Amino acid sequence: MTRDEIILAVKDIITTIAPDEDLDGLNNTDPLRDQIELDSMDFLDIVMELRKRYGVQVPEEEYGVLNTLDGCADYLLPKLEGQELKMVNA
């Protein structure tokens, strides 16, 4: 997956766990929590969905890297190399 695809993948996961949030205006640099309503339970779900969809394990002490979309992309790029983007809410 490319960086852009990873960002799409994460946004698709957020759509699954928080279907009422409007993700159109999300930027890649500000913390997600500041842009939409996400609490620690939701971040756990992002991690769980990454595992379910792509088999990626994110250890608890590294949850912080998922704070921004850029952070997600940086962290996941090597881990998702060679994987196809799976859109559930396309």
Residues in the site for another protein, rule: CB under 8 A?
16-20, 37, 39, 41-42, 44-45, 48, 51-52, 60
Q: By C-alpha distance, which of 72, 42, 67, 68 is closest to 56?
A: 72
CB of 44 to another protein, least distance (A): 6
Residue for token pair 């930027």: 27
Q: By C-alpha distance, which of 31, 26, 27 is closest to 15?
A: 26
> Please, which residue, 48 or 87, has the CB nearer to another protein?
48
CB of 81 to another protein, least distance (A): 24
26 Rama sector, left if φ>0, alpha if ψ -120 to 50, beta otherwise: beta
CB of 47 to another protein, least distance (A): 8
For CA atoms 76, 64, 51, 36, give the dihedral sign: negative
> Please, which residue, 15 or 28, has the CB nearer to another protein?
15
> Please, which residue, 51 or 86, has the CB nearer to another protein?
51
CB of 51 to another protein, least distance (A): 8
